[in-house]
Chains A and B, each alone.
Chain A
């Protein structure tokens, strides 16, 4: 129903490698948000996407919203140890928010 599926669940990369996490919904999304949670911390907002095919960049992070507005991705170029954490996509529906299961990123120095 309201679930957003996120893959992979875990990803280990060598420092300097790229990383991508994918978020998929069975229903059309009006918007998608991305949050990052550092180990032991709380979720912190990264970005919101609302338009079909939208692409937004934040330094080494690239966020995409699918043309059909049913999927989204977050790509990190040349990972650094500061990128460690869990990345969540979040679907908004009225006053409710549905978090994906998250992708836990480990960066090996």
Chain B
């Protein structure tokens, strides 16, 4: 099993450009999520999904869109990149949803710089 994979590893964008960060998992997990990590801060939840066709907002959703057409994939879209979105982005998945609170498995991260 590859676990949770993310592409690309690194990306540089100009302000206003759009891009999609890819995330895939091969563990048949219902729950998938996106976090951003900024220096000196913990991870903050952007969006999450409890199954194909179901997504919801997390703590910091503004400027990001998600969709979940399959169990395996959960892409994160930046429609118009801003310097404030410079961060490291982590995708995670876990089995179960709601208060089962099973461990989350994280991907290796995407380091994004917006100039």
Residues of A within 8 A of B (CB): 2, 6, 9, 30-31, 33, 41-45, 48, 50, 88, 92, 94-102
Contact = CB atoms under 8 A, between A and B. Distances in A.
Contacts of B23: none
Given A42-B109, A45-B103, A100 B90 contact: no
Interface residues of B, number: 27
B33 A33 contact: no
B42 A100 contact: yes
Given A95-B50, A102-B42, 20 more contacts: A2-B59, A33-B101, A33-B103, A41-B108, A42-B90, A42-B108, A43-B90, A43-B106, A44-B106, A45-B103, A48-B101, A92-B99, A94-B98, A95-B97, A96-B45, A96-B48, A97-B104, A99-B44, A100-B42, A101-B42
Interface string B34-46: 0100001111110
A1 to B, nearest CB: 10
Contacts, number: 59
Contacts of A45: 103-105
Most buried by A among B31, B43, B44, B104: B43
B44 A95 contact: no
Nearest to A9: B40
B58 interface: yes
B8 to A, nearest CB: 15
A74 B42 CA distance: 17
A31 B48 CA distance: 19
A88 B43 contact: yes
A6 B31 CA distance: 26
Contacts of B41: 101-102
Contacts of A41: 108
